Amino acid sequence: MKPDIGYIENIAGPVIKAGGLPSARMYEVVRVGKEQLIGEVIEVGEHFCIIQCYEETSGIAPGEPVAATGDTLSVELGPGLLGAIYDGLQRPLPELKEISGDFISRGLTVEGLDKEKKWKFTPVVKVGANVVPGDIIGEVPETGIITSKIMIPRGIEGEIVEIVAKGEHTVVETICKVKDMHNTVHEVIMMQKTPVRIGRAFKERVAFDTPLLTGQRVIDTFMPLAKGGTGGIPGGFGTGKTVTLHQFAKWADAQVVVYVGCGERGNEMTEALEEWPKLNDPQSGKPLMDRTVLIANTSNMPVAAREASIYVGVTIAEYFRDQGFDVALMADSTSRWAEALREISGRLGQLPSEEGYPAYLGSRLAQFYERGGRVKPLGSDDRLGSITICGAVSPPGGDFSEPVTQATLRIVKVFWALDKDLAARRFFPAINVLTSYSLYHITLEQWHKENLGPDWPELVRDSLALLQKDQELREIVQLVGPDALPESERAVLEAARMIKEDFLTQSALHEIDTYCPIGKTYRMLRTIVKFSRQMAAAVKLGVSVRRILEFSVLDSIARMKTIPWDSYEGTIDAIDDRIDREFQSLFTEPDGSGVLMPGVVE
């Protein structure tokens, strides 16, 4: 059928009013103007439709043609996604550069997947097998790390009457034929085309009972994130949002990483694009890009494309989730996405809400975060997959009371609050432990007890209590000085200092400290809490804090963070023994006799 051809009536930045498209549908993709700019229908009237254009509209004029395509905004899913770098519309940036140079020309159409490259397909089912949507019929070793699963798409169910043998095929070649109950034969290819604004279906959600370990001590200890969970990381300029998300992407124990640079500054996105290909995956030693999809939509790109980039990223993540992978999705930042919503809303003349944002800001954010989760995907087996979503928020002036931050906090279950005062003191990660929180502590407690130790919850509670008491005492110290405090409270200050400086601070640039295994995190925390308990007991028996601070073991405790990952257990065991010996020396007579103080040895 010949597509509808309409015409431009009005232009207001990226918002275009078009007439002559009587059959236009909501969210249908259209081609605007003589340069065939990509747009999407966002409002339909009786004799007109409103289009948001994903490319710069300067130079086009009323009267130019608008062509409906009949398709919704969709992404191509299949082998070839991993290692790719896309713009906000799933156009590969390397191909765009080859066509138009360093600056992307308007109206370019580049397919998301290479239709000519051949992939090694290995079938895992035979002729005669009955399949339903989501069933895995074959595998493709896409990279050295990930083997992609080829699934039956939705709408196809029945008996396999033909499947190709092991060999090389493109993503558009027929690899399988399925006959349904009406004797209609459906052809299956490796590629699926999926609309981005509707989440991919699954069977059911499952409990959040497994943590997504990040290798960042402050997160894994005090604000853990469950696989399939949602988290927000708000912070003002210079507090380290992007670096924290980069660390999260590099070291989280997810199998696939999708990183969406939504409206971020070009230099930060350039750093990611240059750095990622040089990084090695800590688990396999192979390039990290082999399990990563990058979507770059920088702040100098058309504002409307920011909105699309978020949906493109989460749809790609859902595809890998349905294969049974754990996926980590980073969106940096949702504030820039919200600003795009605000601009489009203003040009549409919609009634503004707080600070000019549209009234539907909260619901749009919720729709995005709700596409995360740990689920049983479609299919006849019981595989599990997850999407863990972490979104950065950039509140103007670091004001957490602004609408995007508040709307995010109502949705996510983990809140990592970046503190500009900590960042100013060069304390990184600059996450304020006392204002941050995680609602996954209870559901993850059993995992921590079984995999780390039964005392993990107690260690976390004691550490938080010390940090809370330290904050209260700091106000007094600023008024009267530390010398006016009793010895017991000076011990609290010292214990809190050890937690903050020797445990919470972590260098993203140090080759060892950049990542901390959860086992090492547990041992470090247990050692510091042990020292603080023995220090409190010694002070209660009359020992001065000044005397305890002369212990040589304190230097070893401060250097625990740089102990290599494969040898920390023996080293920390030796530190624990030294703690016992040095506290015992306080109550031992010169001739070796004496009584050990109560409560020293655990």
Domain co-membership, 236 together with 347: yes
| Radius of gyration of the CA atoms of the chain, in A | 28
The residues pairing with 431 across neighbouring beta strands, listed in sequence order, are 418
Looking at the fold, whether 261 and 409 belong to one and the same domain comes out as yes
146 & 221 share domain: no
Which residue from 591, 495, 474 is spatially nearest to 539, judged by alpha carbons?
495
- Same structural domain, 18 and 155: no
Across all residues in the chain, what is the average pLDDT? 91
- The closest of 215, 127, 139 to 177, measured between CA atoms, is 127
Judgement on whether residues 176 and 207 belong to the same structural domain of the protein? no
pLDDT at 548: 95
Establish if 218 belongs to a structural domain.
Answer: yes
Higher-pLDDT residue of 302 and 224 is 224
Q: Which of 202-211, 213-222, 285-294 has the lowest mean pLDDT?
A: 285-294
192, 215, 245 - which closes a domain:
192
pLDDT computed for residue 245 by the predictor: 86
DSSP code of 379?
A: S
- List CB contacts of 88: < 8 A, sequence separation 6 or more: 54, 262, 295, 296, 297, 301, 305, 306, 308, 309, 312
User: From CA 17, how far away is CA 28, in angstroms rounded?
Assistant: 14
Residue 449 has pLDDT above 60, yes or no: yes
- Per the rule left: phi > 0, alpha: psi between -120 and 50, beta: everything else, 78 is left
CATH number at residue 272: 3.40.50.300
pLDDT at 589: 56
Instruction: Give per-residue pLDDT as tens, 390-427.
Output: 999 999 888 899 999 999 999 999 999 999 999 998 89
Q: What percent of the chain has pLDDT over 70?
A: 97
Q: How far apart are CA 439 and CA 68, in angstroms?
A: 46
Distance of CA 343 to the CA centre of its chain: 26
Given a cut of 80, whether residue 2 has pLDDT beyond it is no
* Alpha carbon distance 322, 514 (integer Å): 31
Asked whether residue 99 is domain-assigned, the answer is: no
Min mean pLDDT across 99-108, 187-196, 231-240 is at 99-108
In this prediction, residue 602 carries a pLDDT of 40
355 and 504 housed in the same domain: no
Per-residue pLDDT band for 545 (boundaries 50, 70, 90) equals very high
User: From CA 30, how far away is CA 95, in angstroms rounded?
Assistant: 22
Residue 46 lies in a domain: yes
Distances (CA, A) of 545 to 417, 526, 548, 558: 32, 20, 5, 17
For range 14-28, the mean pLDDT: 92
Specify if 153 maps to a domain. yes
Residue 446 maps to a domain: no
Distance CA 388, CA 289 (A): 19
The pLDDT value recorded for residue 590 is: 54
Q: Is residue 430 part of a domain?
A: yes
Measured in degrees and rounded to the nearest 5, phi and psi for residue 314 equal -70, -30
Query: Do the Cβ atoms of 292 and 82 come closer than 8 Å?
Result: yes
pLDDT (mean) for 204-223: 96
Are 57 and 344 contacting, i.e. CB atoms less than 8 angstroms apart? no
Looking at residue 466, its pLDDT comes to 97
**In this model, does residue 202 exceed pLDDT 70?**
yes
Confidence class of residue 281 from pLDDT cuts 50, 70 and 90?
A: confident
Q: Both 386 and 476 in a single domain?
A: no
What whole-number distance in Å separates Cα of residue 312 and Cα of residue 91?
11
This prediction has a pTM of: 0.93
Structural domain total, the chain: 4
Spatial neighbors of 153 by CB under 8 A, at least 6 apart, are: 133, 188, 192
- Please write the tens of the pLDDT for every residue from 124-141: 999 999 999 999 999 999
In sequence order, the β-bridge partners of residue 296 are: 261
- Shared-domain flag, residues 233 and 362: yes
Ranking 84-98, 170-184, 233-247, 258-272 by mean pLDDT, the lowest is 258-272
User: pLDDT tens, 502-514?
Assistant: 999 999 889 999 9
Query: Confidence band (pLDDT; 50, 70, 90) for 600?
Result: very low
| CB contact at 8 A, 303 and 343 | yes
Confidence of residue 269 (pLDDT cuts 50, 70, 90): confident
Confidence at residue 599, expressed as pLDDT on a 0 to 100 scale:
44
472: number of Cβ within 10 Å: 10
d(CA 149, CA 23): 38
* pLDDT-based confidence at residue 444 (cuts at 50, 70, 90): very high
**302 within domain boundaries:** yes
Domain hosting 65: range is 5-72
pLDDT tens sequence across 68-93: 999 999 999 999 999 999 999 999 98
* Best CA proximity match to 110, nearest among 57, 52, 38: 38
The tokens for 544 are: 């001065």
> What is the mean pLDDT of the segment spanning 296-304?
81
